[in-house]
Amino acid sequence: MYLLECCEWNSDCRSWSALQRNFAACGNYARADGHETGVGIAELSGLTGLSVDTLRWYEREGVLPRVGRTATGRRLYNSREQGIVMLLTSLRDSGMPTAMMKEFVALLEEGAASHGRRITLMQQTQALLDERRARLDQAALALERKIDHYEQLIDAGLDCDGAPVPDSARGRQLARG
């Protein structure tokens, strides 16, 4: 059930299937209790693009539930934990703040009873994205205006203060990179 949720979150089951195949191709190790197999932190880092430090930080901060260990103390991520890491990657990429990511993952334990709260968290993240998009659109517009302004100055052979550019500097002004 949990892996299906991650697949639905990514809205591309083919990519989730490809990731599962990659996990299966990695070396699996037995946990200390001998019941579970999984992948080590380096393998998971390579497969998800998250750094080893980020994975450790997620666990230390409680964003990622405590990960099982091998008899020698190595972290060993089972399929559920791998799915949570994939979910965290998607949440992070969406711009969800870490505190909300932590809450979202904790809500997974409540199952369907927490769907409403999870929707709220995603809607709040969507609002943050909309605000960020508006700021980026404003910044892009300001850059376009500045580019147009400088192109007009170059075409007119003028400096920023409106003074004519001497012929010796005109060549450098025309060099637009």
| For residue 92, pLDDT beyond 70 | yes
Is residue 125 a part of any domain in this protein? Answer: no
| Same domain, yes or no: 104 and 142 | no
Domain-embedded: residue 63: yes
In a domain, 87, yes or no: yes
**Among 33-37, 64-68, 88-92, 132-136, whose mean pLDDT is lowest?**
33-37
| Per-residue pLDDT reduced to its tens digit, 4-34 | 344 444 444 334 444 444 444 444 444 555 5
Closest CA to 58 of 48, 67, 46: 67
Residue range(s) defining the domain that contains residue 54: 2-109
Residues 58 and 98 in one domain: yes
Are 8 and 85 contained in the same domain?
Answer: yes
pLDDT of 165 reads 85
The CATH number given to whatever domain includes residue 90 is 1.10.1660.10
Q: Is 170 found in the same domain as 88?
A: no
> 153, 174 in Cβ contact below 8 A?
no
Q: Is residue 104 part of a domain?
A: yes
Angstrom distance (rounded) from CA 91 to CA 171? 49
Q: pLDDT digit string (tens) for 55-72?
A: 999 999 999 999 999 889
25 and 104 inside one domain: yes
Residue 25 lies in a domain: yes
Burial of 89 from C-beta contacts in 10 A (0-12 / 13-18 / 19+): middle
| 13 within some domain | yes
Using an 8 Å Cβ cutoff, are 80 and 2 in contact?
A: yes
Is 177's pLDDT higher than 90? no
Number of domains in the chain: 2
Q: Are 14 and 7 in contact (CB under 8 A)?
A: no
Tell me the HSE value of 37 on the side-chain side, using a 13 A CA sphere: 7
Contact 112, 45 (CB under 8 A): no
- Confidence grade of residue 168 (pLDDT, cut at 50, 70, 90): low
**Residue matched to tokens 């070396």:** 27
C-beta of residue 142 within 8 angstroms of C-beta of residue 131: no
Q: In this structure, is residue 35 part of a structural domain?
A: yes
Q: What integer pLDDT is reported at residue 16 of this predicted model?
A: 42
pLDDT at 159 over 70: yes
In this structure, are residues 74 and 29 in contact, taking their beta carbons and an 8 Å threshold? yes
